[in-house]
Amino acid sequence: MQQAAASFFQQLPPEQWFWLMLCALLIGLAKAGVKGMGMFAVPVMAAVFGGKTSVGLVLPLLSMADVFAVSYYNRHAEWKYVWRLLPAAILGVGIGIWVGFVVDDEAFKGLIAIIIISSLVLMVVQEYVALPDKLVGSWGVASLFGVLGGFSTMIGNAAGAIMAVYLLATRIPKNSFIGTTAWFFMIINLFKFPFHIFVWGTISWKSFLLDLAALPAITVGVFAGIQIVKFIPEKTFRYFVIVMTFVISLRLLLA
């Protein structure tokens, strides 16, 4: 098995190794709180490795980075938001599984781009028109974002913008934002694993070996991200999330 794995690694072109490591680094940065960085990995990995194949490669990278993020920011999590979002997110994952059987890769990209652009509009509006606390705190609104987040994370690992819109609307502090998203995504990403392995077949032993090889890049990204976040002021952080989401949305739409 070791010889087979070594042969598989040698067959991977250098440019694919480069993009894999770069995306792993960006995912580490994102999970440490430099929001938006990880979303660059979605279109890049799809371009380098192919549509569904890239989804199966990115998920374990995200899950490994989730462990680091939760370990550092777990004390800051606002669990009331996690519990509000999870049930609907699971439903959204189920819808995404079904959609994966009936649409092609190009449709995936279009759906993800539409979701993110819509989220961006809401995010910008919320900077100037505050949503009523009663609306933000309602189960109905949380369920809507949960379904959208679960759906988008299943078909493209692209729920970061959806969750950013909802959690930024709650006006929770920066570290609470990071801790809450860390726990939410770790739970939902682990929930997705069996479906990628046994239903879609997008995660295999070989793909998992590639992800393990990228673990050092994730680690560097996480520790670099932790330091970067410390120097981003609260208001600057909010605008940073908006700008990064805008850039990523355009990249995804034009990919």
Amino acid making up residue 73 = Y
* CA nearest to 6, candidates 202, 203, 209, 204: 209
Q: What's this model's pTM, rounded to 2 decimal places?
A: 0.81
Domain count, the chain: 1
pLDDT digits (tens, 9 = 90+) for 19-66: 999 999 989 988 887 766 776 777 778 778 877 788 889 999 999 988
pLDDT digits (tens, 9 = 90+) for 72-96: 777 788 898 899 999 999 999 999 9
Measure Cα distances from 139 to 83, 97, 146 in Å.
10, 24, 10
Tokens (6 digits) for 162: 């959806």
Which structural domain range is residue 45 located in?
Answer: 2-254
